Copies of this chain bind each other. A is one copy, B any other.
Amino acid sequence: MQERAIATRYAVMQAAAQLFEERGYAGTSVGDVVRLSGHTSGSVYFHFNSKEGLARAVAEAYHSLWPELIERCMSAPEAVLVRTIALHLAVADAYRDDVLVRAGARLWFERSSIGTPLPAPFAGWITVTRGLLDEARACGEVGAAIDSGRAAHLIVASFFGTHTVDDALGCRDQLAGHVLYMWRLLLPGLGAGDPADVLDRAEALHTQPTRASR
């Protein structure tokens, strides 16, 4: 692929992401994307084949973000719970800063309107979280009686609910704070140790991620 082609593809996708986030899939026309990106419809169809392809591209870019992020957060030498919370904070940052992330999230909500089967994100996150909880329980970081499946479900739901509500109320900048508060209220119920300590360490881990962040 030529350099110009890459730039075109990127610009179009970025424009699409922005519009999908604002207006949803059905509410966005390819013409809108064409206009905003400054390219032409022929160009768009060359790179993405169809409107659906555009959505697919955004969704894929969205999904391909997580593995790397998870890897980065989980490799730190800290307690499982602490690393989990730090991961949440990282996701919250991504959500706050990256249109692509918000667009991907919205597209997923509207997956029924789109033709293609999009990969299920909640399911993935719940599985990951469940694994972390199991690990934490093995380490004694959470109570032995915790039902990791249900708890993972709840945690993911609360986490995404917080995103949604903050988004809706226009306080996306408070997202990280709200996520921390969520954990503060949940930790006792999970039978974890001193919440304040866990949260502090998570925050510390997050502000200075692994070693080298970009």
Contacts and interface: CB of A to CB of B under 8 A. Distances in A.
Given A157-B178, A160-B164, A162-B161, A151 B185 contact: yes
A70 B165 CA distance: 21
A182 B122 CA distance: 17
A48 interface: no
A154 interface: yes
Copies in the complex: 4
A165 to B, nearest CB: 4
A184 interface: yes
Contact of A154 (B22, B23, B160, B178): B178
Contacts of A158: 154, 157-158, 161-162, 182
A167 to B, nearest CB: 9
Contacts of A24: 24, 26, 110, 112-113
Q: What 8 pairs across the A-B complex have the smallest Cβ distances?
A: A161-B161, A185-B189, A26-B26, A26-B27, A158-B158, A188-B188, A157-B161, A27-B113
10 contacts: A27-B110, A108-B168, A122-B169, A153-B181, A154-B162, A158-B161, A159-B161, A160-B164, A185-B186, A188-B189
